[in-house]
Structure 1
Amino acid sequence: MIKKLQKAFSERFNKEPMIIGAPGRVNLIGEHTDYNNGFVLPGAVDKRIYVAIAPNNTDKVNVFANQFNESYSFSINVSEPHQGWMNYLLGVSYHIQQKGKKIGGVDVIIDGDIPVGAGMSSSAALCSGFGFALNELFQLGLSRMELALIGQKTEHTFVGLKCGIMDQFASLHGKAGHVMKLDCRSLEYEYIPFNFPGHKIVLVNSMVSHSLASSEYNVRRQQCEEGIAILQKHYPNVTSLRDIEPAQLLQHKEELPPIVFDRCSYVVYEKERLLKGCEALTNNDLATFGKMMFATHEGLSKKYSVSCTELDFLAEFAQQIPGVVGARMMGGGFGGCTINIVQAEAVEPFTQKIQAAFNGLFKQTPEVYVTQIEDGVKIIS
């Protein structure tokens, strides 16, 4: 991939690029908790977006996206969104300059091996990689956390998705052999060991696109906010579901509309599962961690209602396959992948069984991606 990218760059722009690798991410547990100011537990993976870049001494950014075979140019004095994938680059350029940083024109080729639509956050990796590249090239002195926040702002303002900070954070802060327990309120984080060489992280794609995810995402957000507004009457100091204990929620169950109670109950218990899961990993106890994953899927499917028939089938079927430690749907929901922790020697039989069973029922063979936890964004060459 790297040699191919260098060759394509010198053919197109007649110069040598710097190449940045920005990983996708998986989130082991802690789903839909980020916008409720809770905790998440992501790790960067060995699938990346590559940004090949060099200055061009103009005020233009010239981009070629290899995966889409599309080129696009824009002025660095950008101020508003356009159409499609280039909004990620427009937004990052804009928000870096809003911080009073000076950038120049660049030539860019983008490529990568993060499967699009698999829920590994290729869009966050693109923002992180491009922001990191500009930061290196023009020596802007932005920290990794500042770059993550610029990526998040880009999603909010140029793309129109009110996402949390997790995806950008994970892509920039990843560390091999570790997942990151991120407090989405304070942005404090700690590395939790996830060093199980005898196991792989396996994603199984439900082959359902996330068409509902962004609209329903905003609905879930509102439902959680509605729950908080009611609970605040009793607990004025509470600012988000992160502050609510299970007992407090149960005490006021009657005051909450049933659907709002279910949504809140999922979030409140997911925090408990995540903290318990981190403790298990610290003690090298993968079995307990896997049980938390199964419970999370149940909650996402029944209480938070963001699963779908295909995801439920994949998560439930995985539980019956030998060598599977944990499984659940991952990401916003309504499609995308399940994340499974599988013994390395069981990966092949797991893949065969789950593909055959899924194909038998849904007449489609799901894509399977075998990944491991790797470092965050870095200069590759």
Structure 2
Amino acid sequence: MKLTIDDVRRRFIKHFDGTTGSIYAAPGRINLIGEHTDYNGGFVFPGAVQQGMMAEIKPNGTRMVRAYSIDLKDYAEFSLDDEKGPSATHFRYIFGVCREMMALGIPVEGFNTAFAGDVPLGAGMSSSAALESCFAFALDDLFGKGDTDRMTLAKVGQATEHKYIGVNCGIMDQFASCHGKANNLMRLDCRSGEFQYFPWEPKGYKLVLVNSCVKHALVGSPYNDRRNSCERVAKAIGVETLRDADWDKLEAVKDQISEEDYKRAKYVIGEYFRVLAVCEALEKGDYETVGQKMYETHEGLSKDYEVSCEELDFLNEIAKECMVTGSRIMGGGFGGCTINLVETDLYKHFCETAKAKFKEKYGKEPVIIDVVIGDGARKIC
């Protein structure tokens, strides 16, 4: 269900003093291509979506934040001067953003807020980054001068994850939520922070996520293991990250590294070039090449990086059978969604087939999520 201003305002009025404040929003995101490249100094290619987080906020003249989560029907109060903060994760995001904005010199004061989201849970669309970006933008607007650059606001969200949530994330999710622009995807250089908008208005195509609603329990630290593999290969080659490697350099050290490390590096180097190929194809309106590269990415994530799972590979095979232009895992892997570039004429057939075949095999239907590329963090009213 689409979140509306009325939904948030009604709850804000009910839980606070009957007056209204200002309403802000920030989106979740998709990533067309460029997976597991951020910590290798490469490129990612995200876009903001229409689903996201929305919050009504009103200064209350104290040093206390009074927050109500509409979705979870949960309430908390905390002091801006308390270094520990609330224990519940959904409130710690807000606390962390407050503290990080204060560290930037923004004179944050106490406020009342009610917030909610319509980002599908478990779909890998970064509801947490949307919440962080929403509050960072709002606090800058309410208590600062409203001129803090958006990359700084994105870094506030990233620092919140690192310091207050314990998630050592990259910058892509918060970047996309802050910088999103309707009908545009963005190529972000994760090493330099430079980015470029690419128009995304494909005629005759739709982007659709198919959420497997699966998240496999993982033993050990699979993400850290893969990161360590990449770092070992980079060291063997003599470069800082695999961003600076190429096929010849990888082959030159093949006998010095394990087969597993070789496969991990093979995927990452290939993904670097695939992102650039997709950018070039988009500038030409060549969506067939975009789709081909998406399939290549899935193959690499499945066979070389080994972060897929049976259910996601099954959805990818259904996409091929339905003549979908492009399909791949979106996100870290081991569950979640595939992202699919589908010709409009094939959309209905693909969705119906995916739901029917997946249910027949696994006993439950996947969730279809239509993607519309929207704007980044903003004030609504």
Matches within 5 A, 1:194-209: 194-209=200-215
Residue among 43, 54, 57 paired with 1:50:
54
The equivalent residue for 1:174 is: 180
1:2: Cα distance to partner? 0.9
Matches within 5 A, 1:237-256: 238-256=239-257
1:273: Cα distance to partner? 0.5
Count of aligned residue pairs for this structure pair: 375
- 8 Å Cα contact 2:8/2:55 also seen in 1: no
Letter in 2 for 1:364: K
Matches within 5 A, 1:1-381: 1-13=4-16, 14-80=18-84, 82-140=87-145, 141-209=147-215, 211-212=217-218, 215-232=221-238, 238-322=239-323, 324-381=324-381
1:210: Cα distance to partner? 5.9
CA distance in 2 between counterparts of 1:330 and 1:146 reads 26
Structure 1 segments of 4+ aligned residues over 4 angstroms from their partners: none
CA distance in 1 between counterparts of 2:273 and 2:10 reads 50
Letter in 2 for 1:351: C
Stretch of structure 1 that moved more, 127-136 or 72-81: 72-81
Stretch of structure 1 that moved more, 251-260 or 208-217: 208-217
1:215: Cα distance to partner? 3.7
CA distance in 1 between counterparts of 2:209 and 2:24 reads 24
CA distance in 1 between counterparts of 2:220 and 2:5 reads 33
Letter in 2 for 1:112: G
1:372: Cα distance to partner? 1.3
1:109: Cα distance to partner? 1.0
Structure 1: unaligned runs, 5 residues or longer: 233-237
CA distance in 1 between counterparts of 2:109 and 2:203 reads 44
Secondary structure at the aligned position of 2:335 is classed as coil
The TM-score, its normalising length taken from structure 1, stands at: 0.95
Structure 2: unaligned runs, 5 residues or longer: none
Letter in 1 for 2:27: P
CA distance in 2 between counterparts of 1:214 and 1:176 reads 39
Percent of paired sites with the same residue? 45
Letter in 2 for 1:335: G
- 8 Å Cα contact 2:107/2:144 also seen in 1: no
Letter in 1 for 2:81: N
- How big is each residue's C-alpha offset from its partner over 1:88-124, in whole Å with a ceiling of 9 and x where there is no partner? 1121111111222210011111111111111001111
Stretch of structure 1 that moved more, 142-151 or 197-206: 197-206
- How big is each residue's C-alpha offset from its partner over 1:307-337, in whole Å with a ceiling of 9 and x where there is no partner? 1111111112111114x21100000111111
CA distance in 1 between counterparts of 2:196 and 2:246 reads 23
